[in-house]
Amino acid sequence: MFSVKPTKPTFKCYLPPVQTDVKKTIEPPIKKLEPKLLPGEIVVNEANFVRKCISAESSQDDLWGKLICTNFKVSFIPQDAPPKQKSQLSHLLLGEHDIPLTCLEQVVTVNDTKGKKKVLGSNKKLKFNPTELILYCKDLRIIRFCFDEAGPESAKKVCLAIGHYSHPADLQLLFGFEYQGRRYHESKGNNPFPGERVNGSTPRGGLQTPIFDCSSDWDRAIKRTGASEWRVCTINENYAISQSLPEFIVVPVSLADQDLKQYSLFFIDNRIPYWCWNHPNGCALVRMANISDPLQQKKIEQRIYTAITKSHPQRSEIFLSDVDKCLPNIQDIQTAFVKLRQICVVDPFEESDERWLSSIENSRWLEYVRAFLKHAADIIFYLDGKNASVILQEEEDRDLNCVVSSLVQLMLDPHYRSLIGFQSLVQKEWVMAGHRFLDRCNHLKKSDKEESPLFMMFLDCVWQMMNQYPAAFEFTEVYLIVLSDSMWIPLFSTFLFNSSKQRAQYLMDFAKNKAIPQGEDKVVYFPPVWDWLQQFTSKDLTLFNNPMYVGKGAACVQNGEVKTFRRTKKTYSSTMRGASTSMRNGVKGAEDTLPRRSSLVSELKSDFSTVKDESPLERFFRDWFSRPADQQGLLIPLFMPSHVALWKLFFLRWVPEACIPRGGPIHTYHKLSQLVDEIELLQSQIRQYKGPSPSSTPLPSPGGPPFNQRRMYFKASSPHDPPTPPDFLTSTFPFSPMGNLCRRSTHGTPISKFLNGARIWLSTETLANDTV
């Protein structure tokens, strides 16, 4: 006989027996954290057990999850996702914790124990294991991740991947080229009209934004403004003359193509003068690059001036504005923006800092905003006051001219204050005019010297006008911010290229590589940003609608009667004035932050006083400001230091200390939206009650338009709704600073700090429970 050795206990012996009773509750499997990927998007690297910091004071509210780098974005997937905040826009292409790679300004790794820090880029090496990753974003967010529990190797790899893929070596490596190719082929069979343009798809009747890549768009612009002495010129077809001008430009009828070809040789980059806009009085706004040959300058200028003079019915004089001499250069603007960003977002925000407002002013950003507004107003004096055509001259005609030309047209022409009109203005004066979006946005991060936020400067100037004339614009500041944010989403053709030619070349190669049929419209297979339904739902797009807008056909009450604004050919003229301020809806009254127009002369005595040596320019401004403004006519902004404010929603939306619960202008917007929605419902019911007229369109349903087709984001309240506004309405709505670690939390800021200069900081906000 032989004895059997007892078996040694194994690890399994120490485990409890496996449950075999299926009736008993089984623990749910661990949640698998997977990213939501777009067509063509792939995961490059990832790290588990990563902590996203929510507060610098405590890790109690921090989120744990997986950090992922794809070929499009940095994505964080929380293990236990908090409930979705109602105060945020729901982006269809990006999640709540996603950041496009092109939105990253700097990728910084930190090792706390060794006291080391390194900025990562393309093909950079990392000699230490990171304990933190800090992402500085171009939309002013600062996101911080900690690798307390993550494996050191996986943490290092995901950091290097983010640094590398945020610095693409070539434009074609941007994710938009892969995404739009996949999207085109996936949707090819779904569109019954494949040749039809899909840009400008809006929930408001399918209005379209002209792209100005064909002569018909320019023809319509000429016809709309009555520029009968100007014509569409085709000498730059296939970019035969200039590499940076569009294929179609508008020139005086009196200039022959042969002469234009000859003149183009003397301009920088062969950018011959071209038309932008016509005033109803016959004068024109023209853009021009510098003449490269000084010996030929007088001769060429004289011929150009003669042709422009002939295009004017009264053969009026011409005014030349050299914007390079009057305005800050692109490096000055970039320096000012970096300083302002540092003050608003990066620097510690201590309650004892009494120089915050002075620091804002010393950044010179607001000074430059005022300079652009004032220069545009000066140009208006010549166009509207002196009936003179104006030539805007800049060295290359691709930077400062874009800002000035756009602002002048925005002030003079109410068409450009509508949503579609504004988008066509950006398309015409920025995209097609050859603004270097690729270089100025620094998408490839190749040259910091070329980077400059000129488009952001323009949007800030637009906001200043909206802030002063809240009823004159169809769109809201949320629209302006979303448009700014779209610069950093590389999925649309609008902000990716330096010129029309570069766009055409890249998209031609793109179509060949993706087997897109020859002759297919570029707008279909690589759409511009104006197709907002690619990014947001119809409901969220209603946040673009201004409830105070006094547009064509908008009703107002005058002398107890409901009347309608109707535009005529002369509405741009400063001689056309509307009703008094007290009778016009949507204009700020005496109790608001802006002064009444009648008090302007006394407030600005040094500038607009009635003295004997008063210049014609000063007299023009004094006369204009002494009369009530027509929301559908010429609008001149106030540009003195006390009238130009910090754009709080843009610069402070990610700053927790600046977020005022149940405060800010959103409450006014909320009430006005509800009121407008109620009025539109009543109008619909009245039309239903009266019955159809012979020429009317089909009647809406008895209850009014469907809920998801109404124009306002906030719908009319019912008797059952609570009387107080929703809790999620804060001064940063519809953006939330939650999870954006800007600085050390101070749990609110006393209003006493801002009593001196409150116009810049708080404006119309109301703070509850302030300590004074």
Rounded to 10 degrees, the C-alpha dihedral 241/242/243/249 comes to -110
> Tell me, what's the pLDDT at 183?
92
Rounded to the nearest 5 percent, the helix, strand and coil shares of the chain are: 35, 10, 50
CA 657 from centroid of its chain's CA atoms: 24
CA 288 from centroid of its chain's CA atoms: 26
CB-CB contact of 556 with 563 (8 Å) = yes
At 40-52, the pLDDT tens digits run 999 999 999 999 9
Which residues partner with 47 through β-bridges?
67
Maximum CA extent, the chain: 133
> Tell me, what's the pLDDT at 604?
46
> Tell me, what's the pLDDT at 694?
56
> Tell me, what's the pLDDT at 89?
83
Task: Mean pLDDT check: name the lowest of 108-122, 164-178, 260-274, 464-478.
Answer: 108-122
- Read off the pLDDT band of 742 (50, 70, 90): low
> Tell me, what's the pLDDT at 225?
97
Residues 6+ apart with CB under 8 A from 188: 194
Q: CA dist 456 to 138, 650, 658, Å?
A: 11, 10, 21
- Read off the pLDDT band of 583 (50, 70, 90): very low
> Average pLDDT, whole number, for the chain?
82
Rounded to 10 degrees, the C-alpha dihedral 733/735/740/745 comes to -10
At 359-377, the pLDDT tens digits run 999 999 999 999 999 999 9
Q: Print the SS3 string covering 586-643.
A: CCCCCCCCCCCHHHHHHHCHHHHCCCCCCCHHHHHHHHHHCCCCCCCCCCCCCCCHHH
Residues 6+ apart with CB under 8 A from 512: none
Residue owning tokens 């018909």: 216
User: Residue 192, exposed/middle/buried by CB under 10 A (0-12, 13-18, 19+)?
Assistant: exposed
At 413-429, the pLDDT tens digits run 999 999 999 999 999 99
**Angle, alpha carbons 490-71-109 (nearest 5°):** 100
CB-CB contact of 340 with 456 (8 Å) = no
Range among 505-519, 653-667, 680-694 with highest mean pLDDT value: 505-519
> Tell me, what's the pLDDT at 220?
97
Structural tokens at position 324:
């390079």
At 309-322, the pLDDT tens digits run 999 999 888 999 99
At 553-563, the pLDDT tens digits run 554 434 434 34
- Read off the pLDDT band of 750 (50, 70, 90): very low
E runs forming strands in 279-433? 284-289, 318-322, 389-394
CB-CB contact of 247 with 223 (8 Å) = no
Rg (CA), the chain: 29
> Tell me, what's the pLDDT at 644?
96
Q: How far apart are CA 107 and CA 94, in angstroms?
A: 20
Task: Mean pLDDT check: name the lowest of 420-434, 586-600, 640-654.
Answer: 586-600
| DSSP codes joined into one string, 522-538 | HHHHS--TT-GGGTS-H
At 590-639, the pLDDT tens digits run 334 444 444 444 444 445 545 568 899 999 999 999 999 999 999 999 99
At 481-491, the pLDDT tens digits run 999 999 999 99
Q: How far apart are CA 317 and CA 305, in angstroms?
A: 9
Residue owning tokens 């629209």: 479
Asked if residue 346 has pLDDT above 90, the reply is no
Give first-to-last CA distance, the chain, whole Å.
97
Asked if residue 337 has pLDDT above 60, the reply is yes
At 119-168, the pLDDT tens digits run 999 888 899 999 999 999 999 999 999 999 999 999 999 999 999 999 99
